[in-house]
């Protein structure tokens, strides 16, 4: 099974050449699932959402889309009004519910949660948050997955800080969420936000749950060229290849290979 993981396209500030090249690459690859892990827009403006929706229609189905912190309207009086009265209206009108998108095919179960918030009891609203209700729902979905399924969680913010990352996520409830998802058997937790590809083991349970972050297709680069991830799922292994757009084409920037749990294993220590 092959998954494509995209995030942080930031329409309004997208790298147009990289976006077009990614479109062609993904259409040719015909992945089993396209995951879009948030920040489709730059400022949450209607034309940016329209551009993002038009682009995603060019990519193959099936697809899961979750929002990021940039996908709330916040530039201009009308946008600020909508931010607090219809926070996810623009997103929902084009991509469906902002929280709880799920997908299943033979061998894989995918759950998602929205870690972005319109406002928080802290100055930097762009950081992430996870509620107890979201944790409970995702845990139920993971535990209901058939034995042997690759259990995938999708969100925008990395639930735990990435060592050496170019920026922080500081997700309220993130460590607790990661711990619960590991115990429920999550194999991979896909995110974006920091604009730099990474793969790192979540330090709970048996250490086999991998946090996987994808880069950006915008001009807001932070240590890597614009790109996205390709995830190959094999019976005993998950392989991740971060592709980077350089010199007019996508090349492998870095690759990782991670052991999978056997069907009779779970996430508990």
User: Residue 268 pLDDT more than 60?
Assistant: no
Residues in the chain: 269
The pTM of the full predicted model, rounded to 2 decimals, is 0.95
User: Residue 118 pLDDT more than 90?
Assistant: no
- Mean confidence (pLDDT) of the chain: 94
Q: What's the average model confidence in pLDDT over 246-262?
A: 95
- pLDDT band (50, 70, 90) for residue 169: confident
Q: What's the average model confidence in pLDDT over 37-42?
A: 97
Q: What's the average model confidence in pLDDT over 111-135?
A: 91
- pLDDT for position 266: 58
Q: What's the average model confidence in pLDDT over 131-144?
A: 98
- pLDDT for position 77: 75
Domain borders along the chain are: 2-259
What are 200-219's pLDDT values in tens digits?
999 999 999 999 999 999 99
Just give the CATH number of 2-259. Answer: 3.60.21.10
Q: Cα(64)–Cα(43) distance, rounded to whole angstroms?
A: 21
């Amino acid at each position: 099974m092959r998954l494509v993981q995209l995030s942080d396209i930031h329409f309004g500030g997208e790298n147009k050449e990289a976006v077009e090249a990614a479109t062609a690459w993904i259409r040719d690859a015909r992945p089993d699932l396209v995951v879009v892990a948030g920040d489709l827009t730059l400022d949450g403006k209607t034309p940016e959402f329209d551009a993002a929706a038009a682009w995603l229609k060019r990519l193959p189905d099936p697809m899961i889309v979750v929002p990021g912190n940039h996908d709330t309207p916040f530039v201009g009086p009308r946008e600020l009004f909508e931010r607090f009265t219809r926070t996810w209206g623009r997103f929902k009108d084009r991509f469906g519910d902002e929280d709880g998108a799920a997908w299943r095919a033979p061998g894989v179960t995918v759950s998602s949660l929205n870690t972005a918030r319109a406002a928080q009891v802290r100055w930097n609203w762009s950081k992430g948050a996870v509620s107890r209700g979201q944790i409970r729902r995702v845990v139920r979905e993971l535990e209901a997955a058939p034995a042997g399924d690759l259990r995938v969680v999708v969100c925008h913010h990395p639930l735990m800080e990435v060592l050496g990352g170019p920026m922080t996520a500081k997700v309220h409830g993130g460590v607790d969420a990661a711990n619960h998802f590991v115990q429920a058997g999550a194999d991979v937790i896909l995110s974006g936000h920091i604009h730099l590809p990474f793969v790192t083991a979540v330090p709970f349970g048996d250490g086999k749950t991998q946090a996987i972050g994808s880069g950006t297709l915008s001009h807001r680069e932070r240590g890597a060229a614009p790109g996205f991830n390709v995830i190959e799922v094999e019976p005993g292994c998950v392989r991740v290849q971060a592709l980077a757009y350089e010199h007019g084409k996508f090349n492998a920037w870095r690759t990782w290979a991670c052991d999978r749990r056997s069907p009779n294993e779970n996430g508990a220590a």
